[in-house]
Amino acid sequence: MDDVKEKYLAQIAAAGTESALEEVRLAAVGKKGEVSLKMRELGKMSPEERQTAGPALNALKDAINEALAARKAALADAALEARLAGEWLDVTLPGRSRGAALGTIHPISQVWEEVTAIFADMGFTVAEGPQIETDWYNFDALNIPDHHPARGEMDTFYMHRAEGDDRPPHVLRTHTSPVQIRSMQDKGAPIRIICPGRVYRADYDQTHTPMFHQVEGLVIDRDTSMANLKWVLEEFFSAFFGRSVKTRFRASHFPFTEPSAEVDIQCSFEGGTVKVGEGDGWLEVLGSGMVHPHVLRSGGVDPDEWQGFAFGMGIDRIAMLKYGIPDLRAFFDSDLRWLRHYGFSPLQVPTLYGGV
Ligand code: PHE
């Protein structure tokens, strides 16, 4: 019996899997197993023989069952250990980088959103208009009659009509000001809008591209004044540049505003770089003024009841100033190295509470 026990204990210890262990169990203590068969033989024994063989067989069976259970538990533990080792995960590792596959937001788009966030906070809504305009919206309605020198100064792109069609040509809008007229016609007064958008002029050098961006502002109410204009713009520049920025209002002339002012912001040109909000230099960034009565009338607004201000600012210009971009033309070259360098994370949406 000792031999039988040794044999099975050895087999149990050697079983490397649960199914191998099950085979050993069947061979030893299964219904037709060696130990079970031996127990059946107890019936044929004499009472004396049975008295010693019985307990010994029982002890043998217990020993084998115990060893089986222990081995089974050990195999289950080992399987769990192996699984834990295989599925081990370091949650402290940095995430997999998308690297260069992640695009960037163009500085113009970024500044467009920043400007919108600041004016939205001051109660402005965003208006839009077509980039291909009639000359009435682009000029006449804005108090720029035919043969007015301003038409020539704007380097307008004309879209010529077919031969024999005598109607005046459409133009690529030379400024966002036609949206003033469209907004007044749509909404009447009072009104408080900005209109960011593309504009076109036939001009190309380091500071001019044939397509560029402006943001128009228009506020019409019963007693809106030049003082309100000044406050809104100063508030805007401080929020946009993240520091207090001195402004300078210079008397100027636009056909669609009276009085008119061009606005400069304070900056230094020291060391070959432009720094806004310091030094004693000035940079022109926008045109503005009180909306001319003729313009109010073009928009269907009664100048005896309503008055207000308008301004037009170069988005590209203020983007260059804020982010230290030296050449305007690079904005539209689609050079990936430039875009990756000056672009913004798509996850960093400009907000006032986050700081534009
Ligand atoms: N439309 C003018 C320009 O493009 C800017 C401007 C807008 C001036 C509104 C006054 C009022 O230069």
Residue with CA at minimum distance from ligand 1 atom 4: 175
Task: State the residue for tokens 């669609």.
Answer: 256
In sequence order, what DSSP letters do the residues of 184-196 get, joined into one string?
Answer: HHHH-SSEEEEEE
Among 238, 133, 227, 240, residue whose Cα is nearest residue 176 = 133
pLDDT along the chain (356 residues), means of 10: 91 93 94 91 88 90 94 94 88 79 91 97 97 96 88 84 88 97 97 98 89 98 97 96 94 97 92 86 95 98 98 95 90 94 91 84
Contact 218, 308 (CB under 8 A): yes
Residue 99: what pLDDT?
62
Residue 21: what pLDDT?
94
Contact 132, 173 (CB under 8 A): yes
CA 286 to ligand 1: nearest atom: 5
Give me the helices (H) in 15-106, please. Answer: 18-29, 34-40, 47-86
**Distance, CA 113 to ligand 1 centroid (Å)?**
21
Residue 100: what pLDDT?
59
Pocket test for ligand 1, best of 148, 175, 230 (most atoms within 8 A of CB): 175
Contact 204, 220 (CB under 8 A): no
Residue with CA at minimum distance from ligand 1 atom 7: 312
Name the phi and psi angles at 190, rounded to 5. Answer: -70, 165
CA 180 to ligand 1: nearest atom: 9
CATH number of the domain at 107-342, out of 3.20.20.140, 3.50.40.10, 3.40.50.150, 3.30.930.10? 3.30.930.10
For residue 319, give every residue at least 6 positions away whose Cβ sits within 8 Å of its Cβ, in sequence order, or none: 107, 108, 110, 111, 325, 331
Q: Domain segments of the chain: what residues? A: 2-86, 107-342
Does 194 sit in the ligand 1 pocket, CB within 6 Å?
no
For the entire predicted model, the pTM comes to 0.73
Pocket test for ligand 1, best of 155, 194, 195, 254 (most atoms within 8 A of CB): 254
Residue 161: what pLDDT?
86
**Distance, CA 317 to ligand 1 centroid (Å)?**
14
